[in-house]
Structure 1
Amino acid sequence: MLRRALDAAKLGHTERLEGFRRLDRLTRNVESNMQPLADFNAAIDHERNISPSVGGRTVFDDAREPKITASNQQLSLFDE
């Protein structure tokens, strides 16, 4: 994901190469020094449990209709 973002960024050649060098160093450092101890399912369960307490939502919530106000109302390109 970081590589795709770096590819898509509007950077000069020199800045892009330096970004790839830094990303390579970071990746090698993480791969050599970190251990994959994360429990993905436990992390998801935790986030679902605390979501209501922080005003969050999940993809399983009922979608609410957006409130249309004068400041966010889309204007028509053509007058009717």
Structure 2
Amino acid sequence: MSYLVATDGSTEGDEAVRYAARQAVAFYETLEIVHVLTPESELVDGTIVLPGEEAAVASGEDVLDNARAVAEAAVGDEPID
């Protein structure tokens, strides 16, 4: 079994990550952290174009990097898979 937690980088999202990390460690399970991108899309000549895709991906990666740090801080020296 794995623990799955979604975060948007908010204070509430960080708290959800902390809780899930502690649960995963307590029960020797893995932790999956996800963040959903919802960029605006346009249809150009029959092709879906995502303006700002690179910036959205970079922002999402920052959110996930922060979430990993939050999870690690929540469990101290305990390993998280």
Output the TM-score relative to the length of structure 1. Answer: 0.30
Q: TM-score, normalised by structure 2?
A: 0.30
Greater per-residue strand proportion = 2
Higher helix share: 1
Structure with more contact order per residue of length (Cα contacts < 8 Å, sep ≥ 6): 2
